[in-house]
Amino acid sequence: MKPMNPQRKSPNPKTRRNRQIVGILLLAAILLFFGLVVFRFFYITVSGQIDGVNLADRTRRKYTQETVLKAKRGTIYASNGDVIAEDSNVYTIFAVVDRKYVSIDDKPLYVQDKAKTAQVLSQYLSLSAAQIKKILSPKSKKAFQVEFGNAGKNIDLATKNQIDKQKLTGIYFRAQPARLYPNGTFASHIIGIAQLKDAKDTAKDSNAQLTGVMGIEKYFNRQLTGVNGRQQIQTDANGYELPMSKIVTKKAKDGDNMTLTIDARLQNNLETLMQNVQDKYKPVGLNAVLMNAKTGSILAASQRPTFDAATMQGLGNVWRDTLVEDAYEPGSVMKVISMAATVDSGHYNPNATYQSGAVTLDGSTVRDWNYSGWGTIPFSQVMPRSSNVGMVHLEELMGAATWKKYLERFHMGQKTGITLPGEVSGMYQFSRAIDQANTAFGQGINVTAMQMMQAFSAIANGGKMVQPQIVSKIKNPLTGKTTTYQPKVVGRPISAATAANVLDQMRQVVNNKQIGTGTAYQLPGVDLAVKTGTAQIANPKGGGYLTGDSNYIFSVVGMAPASDPQYILYITMQQPQKMTAPAETILSSIFKPLMTRVLSYGQTSSGATTKQVTMPNVTNHSTAEAKEALANAGLTPVLVGSGTEVVQQLPKANSRVLAGQRAVLLTDGAALMPSVTGWSKNDILKLAQITGIQVNFTGTGYAVAQSIPANSVITTNSRVSVTLQPR
């Protein structure tokens, strides 16, 4: 019997349908996947991007090495060519403590002898050996490197070189851009400072640039700041340059160089004189401005408190440039302006008389400074006696409308437009009769020192009022294009005859020994015009004014020679804390030497002088004493060295030299290369003679470049190349 073949069971129709659907879906998925892949490749081919990343750019970057060509911030010069501010580097010291950090041939690159390293570094950093050793021994065993806080930052090149000579294993430096201010305390708030925006800028970006944050550095930051360049080379996958690769270079554009109107010799002299007053009498504030009356050029200007721009010591005392940012009541020096208005408006009769002592307006009494007055006196004595009551009567004769018109003509309540940041406009009260009268003798009106200088220029300049200027020229180092700042007449508030009349009255202030309030400012053989001032200070805790012998702003303005003023010198002193001498004695200790010096220059447009002086003997004296002696002699000191005592000098003691000449002083300690930019060949030869360095000159004229950076340590074996160019 044959076995029966079992019949194959047919699939269920529903199952068959499900299988077909699954197959169709699977096929569709496969087709969709491949379609997306094809689309993706097509998209990449057409767009050249993946996830927003440009493949061509990424490849180019991968095989291109780019180097930033750093731009140099523009150099700031004094009018005689001396460097005031220039680019430099400072350094942060750090130590590698990870014992795994070794060279290819297994030489240690970390700190091995911590005790020795600490002992050596303690000689250069403001930390003890014990403190340094503790820093070199961090608790974390995973620490790779350590730093030394503020003590290890802002190290200059000279100190870095000294530490490098010690050959300490594991000690390294990180450079960062910095601004070098070789003159230290030198019109510091006017020049200002440039620094990195953030203390972490260099860590984030080694190419971070300096930014001006005060003074000229801030106002002209755009012009001074350069534009970094780029250099690109093609490399292989390992970063090596490809043969025959094209080097693409975009040159850096250095910032513009600036020349200021400041005369370095006069400025250094002023700084010394002001510091003497600051140290001896401790005023809360002290300002001084010396200006060319004809051009408005600021020849010297400073303030106290101030700071040393080289070390930043004292920067926290006051951030403001008080010459333009502080408004104050000027006191009796304002009588120069109100008298000019009275004369010019035709209301001045010198022979008419008035009762001095006191006058009442709006229920308020105005008194003369001596309270009792001088009886009935002529108006010709208002200026020499500095009579408040007389000025009130003259303001009444003019009338408020006329007086206000002259205040506007003299630009009171308006900014001068000087190229310094933060200038304020000041203000004056004029609603009541007493307010109007008060402004005539410098009360109830707020001004800045630069506003007063601008107004004074009309008196000194035959009625023409010139704008104060601090910048002489700006030069593009790439194109040579130079922008020169010309004198700017901003108004003619009075006639030449009025200006001459007021100058004659100011002569009486200094020359009339019977009634003049400014006889302390007399200079033998000099025709001076002077006005003194003593301004009350508003009580910050309420109405009225402060009381007490020293709670005033004492001031003096002088113009010389009075027959045709070339210079205006204005000094203010606020609240001397040790007033051991009369105010005029204190102020004259600045006024007389500085005015004598500028007049002795007979300064021409080139700043030339022919006066000879005797070189003082400053050898074996402290550097502070030497600087003061040279400044008083009319010479410009140049310190070469890191010590505090002078061991050698050129020119030699008692020799006859030209006023304003550089005197090179070698101190004890390591000799440091100064910045010689702007120096004559003769000055540089003096430096070579006193230090023993060898100098090679290129060109003729004055120094514009040097091969050894400023503040570098130099020895008798040092060779420096100096490039000279005509001015």
Provide φ and ψ at 606, rounded to 5°: -90, -5
- Which residues, at least 6 apart from 167, have a Cβ–Cβ distance to it below 8 Å? none
Q: Which of helix, strand or coil describes residue 268?
A: helix
| Alpha-carbon span 548 to 542, nearest angstrom | 16
Determine which one of 302, 332, 386, 718 is catalytic: 332
Task: Using alpha carbons, select from 300, 296, 310 the residue that is nearest to residue 272.
Answer: 300
Neighbouring-strand partners of residue 447: 328
**Which tokens in the block code for residue 120?**
């050596």
Q: Which of helix, strand or coil describes residue 567?
A: strand
Neighbouring-strand partners of residue 360: 365
Amino acid in the structure at residue 600: S
Say how many C-beta atoms besides its own lie within 10 A of residue 448's C-beta: 25
CB 437 within 8 A of CB 366: yes
712 is catalytic: no
Neighbouring-strand partners of residue 176: 90
Q: Which of helix, strand or coil describes residue 655?
A: coil
CB 455 within 8 A of CB 557: no
Provide φ and ψ at 285, rounded to 5°: -150, 150
**Which tokens in the block code for residue 364?**
């308020």
Q: Which of helix, strand or coil describes residue 495?
A: coil
| Alpha-carbon span 93 to 130, nearest angstrom | 17
DSSP assignment of 453-487, as one string? HHHHHHHHTTT-EE--B-EEEEE-TTT--EEE---
- Which residues, at least 6 apart from 285, have a Cβ–Cβ distance to it below 8 Å? 303, 304, 305, 322, 326, 553, 572, 573, 574, 575
Task: Using alpha carbons, select from 80, 75, 25 the residue that is nearest to residue 658.
Answer: 80
**Which tokens in the block code for residue 536?**
């009350």
| Alpha-carbon span 456 to 660, nearest angstrom | 27
- Which residues, at least 6 apart from 60, have a Cβ–Cβ distance to it below 8 Å? none
| Alpha-carbon span 364 to 382, nearest angstrom | 21
CB 696 within 8 A of CB 720: yes
Amino acid in the structure at residue 209: Q
| Alpha-carbon span 243 to 259, nearest angstrom | 46
Q: Which of helix, strand or coil describes residue 575?
A: strand
Say how many C-beta atoms besides its own lie within 10 A of residue 649's C-beta: 23
DSSP assignment of 610-679, as one string? --EEEPP--TTSBHHHHHHHHHHHT-EEEEESSSSBEEEEESPTT-EEETT-EEEEEESS--BPPP-TT-
Distances (CA, A) of 262 to 54, 79, 325, 490, 598: 54, 6, 20, 21, 12
Q: Point out the residues that are catalytic.
A: 332
